[in-house]
Amino acid sequence: MSKANILRPSHIIPDDAQQEYWAVVEHCIREFHPKCSASALKKLDELQKKLMNRPLEEFELFFHAEPFDVACDLASHQLNVENHMKRYLEIRDEENVQIP
């Protein structure tokens, strides 16, 4: 998980779902954007902290974004998910995402 690993109480997005979401984002950064992973992971920590200060509804709505797209945004490198769909689905659908 990201160093920040910030969770926010929510009746809509439980803690375990938040943890899995952030783990998938982090895994996607490491897997699909290895050359810029250090800077993207720093941005991930900053994003998690920023979301803590947003209204709860906005915080909850954020989790509707695909983790793959969030990883691409943080890496400032947009990829076509269709070209990486098989691996992305494997990452996303793992029960316990393990970050290397």
pLDDT in tens, 26-39: 999 999 999 999 99
- 51 located within any domain: yes
Task: Please name the residues in contact with 36: beta carbons below 8 A apart, sequence gap of 6 or more.
Answer: 75, 76, 77
Does the residue 9 lie in any domain?
A: no
Query: Do residues 75 and 40 touch, judged by C-beta distance below 8 A?
Result: yes
Is residue 36 assigned to a domain? yes
- Could you list the residue range(s) of the whole structural domain that residue 79 is in? 15-93
**Given pLDDT bands bounded at 50, 70 and 90, which one contains residue 96?**
low
This prediction has a pTM of 0.87
Q: Is residue 6 part of a domain?
A: no
The count of domains in the chain is 1
Q: Determine the straight-line distance between the first and last CA of the chain, rounded to whole angstroms.
A: 10
Residue 33 falls inside a structural domain: yes
Q: Say if CB 47 and CB 3 are below 8 A apart.
A: no
